[in-house]
């Protein structure tokens, strides 16, 4: 049930959705779009190519984005990267990944293949470990990899509960590990350029409001029939610390539609836009977080994520919001998800592939990210590759490799991933508690004066898996 307080709150936030609609109309008739490619050189790439040493690499989770990250590592690292091991609970996916890696890496060797990451970390000497598993399998492998001596490239969101995230951050600091989180908007050329040109320069003016949003269905209305897991998949190990649920064929990519394995669209897409906005505006933790929503449009779906959600993050003199509607019409395909940044002198609307800017009273300046097939021909034929994001991913990987060289903090350091991920998780906790306002205490890692919310900071783990502690 939606209380009167929550109804009024949701209605007020709906004004940002109206602004999005109007902005889409305003941009519809604007003419030219500038296409911006990644720069040929950057300082991180130069440092790596000058001082980088041979690294033994491994990947845990060889599905879609795990392979995408690994192939960018091979592209950026060149002959200095030797992929020595791969791990996945799906034998079919694992064997295919081994063949693809052998085709791409300089040695042409098939990495050693493992079904259990613990065995891989015990048997192999690994310098760099990439983690591309579903979200519920991020924390334990990441901590184990750091304890085994690895620097880590970890996909977002970094965990499924706040205590997991804090434990990874503390482990990285305790062991002095370089951990880059796959929040690559911080390395996206069109956004790096826009940050300097419009925000850091002050051209956009004072910024008091940001609206992040997504209008994608993402399996929210799907209905699934339980099946017997295929013989090549160890489904018990795939489930790991998550609650036991039926096996569905769609879980290979559709696990994001279940809260048991992730944090809904706010944890999948929202974390990108929230993190991007924090980076663009140079802000850290919000003071207060609140959220409303639910499964309104698809109540009969077998999925468990909200299909409608609004969240608000209150900073000093700044509010950020998140709007998600799985059932809504997409009015602008270039920017069906993104971040609207409102300044007193201008407005910027951006995501991973496009960035539009309009000075107050002026016309829109539109920029798209470029495909880079001329420089990286293999991109054109790589199955499932987000071709417009590949350049950002390469810049992000060079930043990671450069920090391995100089032992500095990467642009998307584990602490930044912790903040952005935990805030999205806290929004879901607020939603679960009927929109209660959460006052976050980052020093003590707790919600102020709310024992019920604090009980939700760590999810119960399925036996025999043990939840990490802080």
Is pLDDT of 205 > 50?
yes
pLDDT, position 222: 86
Higher pLDDT, 333 or 16: 333
Question: What does the pLDDT average to over 353-365?
Answer: 97
pLDDT, position 219: 76
pLDDT, position 32: 77
Lowest mean pLDDT of 33-37, 146-150, 312-316, 359-363, name the range: 33-37
Question: What does the pLDDT average to over 122-128?
Answer: 98
Residue 23's pLDDT band (boundaries 50, 70, 90)?
A: very low
Is pLDDT of 1 > 70?
no
Is pLDDT of 87 > 70?
yes
Tell me if residue 347 falls in helix, strand or coil. strand
Higher pLDDT, 134 or 216: 134
Determine contact, residues 55/78, Cβ cutoff 8 Å.
Answer: no
Tell me the HSE value of 424 on the side-chain side, using a 13 A CA sphere.
32
Question: What does the pLDDT average to over 433-458?
Answer: 98
What is the DSSP annotation of 358-385?
Answer: EETTS-EEEEEEPP-TTT-GGGGG-TT-
pLDDT, position 10: 38
* Model confidence pLDDT, tens digit, residues 382-411: 998 999 999 999 999 999 999 999 999 999
pLDDT, mean over the chain: 93
pLDDT, position 329: 85
Determine contact, residues 97/74, Cβ cutoff 8 Å.
Answer: no
Question: What does the pLDDT average to over 53-58?
Answer: 98
Tell me the HSE value of 371 on the side-chain side, using a 13 A CA sphere.
11
pLDDT, position 39: 86
Question: What does the pLDDT average to over 229-247?
Answer: 97
pLDDT, position 253: 87
Lowest mean pLDDT of 3-7, 113-117, 401-405, name the range: 3-7
Q: How many CB atoms lie within 10 A of CB 405?
A: 15
Is pLDDT of 353 > 50?
yes
Residue 142's pLDDT band (boundaries 50, 70, 90)?
A: very high
pLDDT, position 217: 74
pLDDT, position 216: 81
Contacts 24+ apart (CB under 8 A), 241-245: 241/136, 241/137, 241/140, 241/461, 241/462, 241/465, 241/467, 242/136, 242/462, 243/462, 244/462
Task: Please give the Cα distance from 238 to 406 (Å, whole number).
Answer: 36
Task: Please give the Cα distance from 324 to 10 (Å, whole number).
Answer: 12
């Amino acid at each position: 049930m939606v209380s009167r307080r929550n109804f009024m709150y949701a209605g007020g936030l709906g004004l940002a959705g109206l602004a999005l609609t109007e902005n889409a109309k305003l941009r519809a008739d604007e003419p030219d779009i500038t296409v911006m490619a990644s720069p040929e050189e950057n300082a991180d790439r130069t440092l790596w190519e000058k001082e980088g040493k041979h690294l033994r690499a491994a990947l845990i989770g060889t599905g879609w984005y795990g392979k995408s990250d690994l192939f960018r590592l091979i592209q950026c690292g060149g002959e200095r990267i030797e992929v020595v091991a791969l791990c996945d609970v799906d034998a079919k996916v694992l064997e295919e990944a081994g063949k693809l890696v052998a085709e791409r890496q300089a040695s042409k060797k098939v990495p050693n293949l493992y079904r259990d990451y613990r065995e891989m970390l015990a048997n192999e000497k690994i310098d760099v470990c990439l983690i591309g598993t579903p979200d519920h399998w991020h924390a334990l492998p990441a901590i184990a990899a750091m304890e085994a001596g690895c620097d880590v490239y970890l996909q977002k969101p970094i965990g499924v509960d706040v205590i997991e995230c804090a434990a990874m951050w503390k482990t990285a600091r305790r062991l002095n590990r370089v951990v880059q989180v796959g929040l690559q908007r911080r390395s996206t050329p069109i956004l790096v350029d826009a940050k300097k040109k419009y925000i850091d320069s002050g051209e956009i003016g004072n910024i008091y409001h940001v609206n992040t949003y997504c209008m994608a269905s993402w399996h929210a209305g799907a209905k699934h029939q339980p099946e017997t897991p295929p013989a090549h998949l160890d489904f018990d190990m795939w489930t790991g610390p998550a609650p036991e649920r039926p096996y569905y064929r769609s879980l290979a990519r559709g696990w994001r539609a279940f809260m048991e394995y992730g944090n809904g669209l706010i944890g999948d897409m929202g974390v990108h836009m929230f993190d991007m906005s924090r980076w663009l505006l140079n802000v850290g933790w919000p003071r207060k977080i609140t959220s409303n929503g639910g499964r309104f449009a698809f109540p009969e779906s077998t999925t468990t994520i909200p299909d409608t959600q609004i969240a608000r993050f209150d900073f000093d003199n700044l509010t950020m919001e998140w709007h998600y509607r799985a059932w809504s019409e997409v009015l602008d395909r270039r920017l069906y998800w993104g971040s609207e940044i409102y300044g007193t002198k201008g407005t910027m609307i951006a995501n991973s592939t496009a960035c539009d800017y309009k000075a107050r009273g002026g016309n829109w300046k539109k920029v798209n990210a470029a495909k880079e097939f001329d420089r990286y021909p293999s991109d054109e034929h790589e199955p499932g590759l987000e071709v417009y994001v590949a350049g950002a991913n390469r810049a992000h990987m060079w930043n990671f490799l450069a920090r391995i060289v100089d032992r500095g903090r990467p642009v998307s350091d584990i602490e930044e991933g912790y903040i952005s991920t935990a805030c999205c998780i806290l929004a879901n906790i607020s939603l679960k508690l009927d929109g209660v306002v959460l006052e976050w205490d980052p020093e003590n890692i707790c919600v102020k004066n709310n024992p019920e919310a604090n009980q939700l900071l760590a999810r119960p783990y399925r036996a025999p898996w043990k939840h990490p502690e802080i």
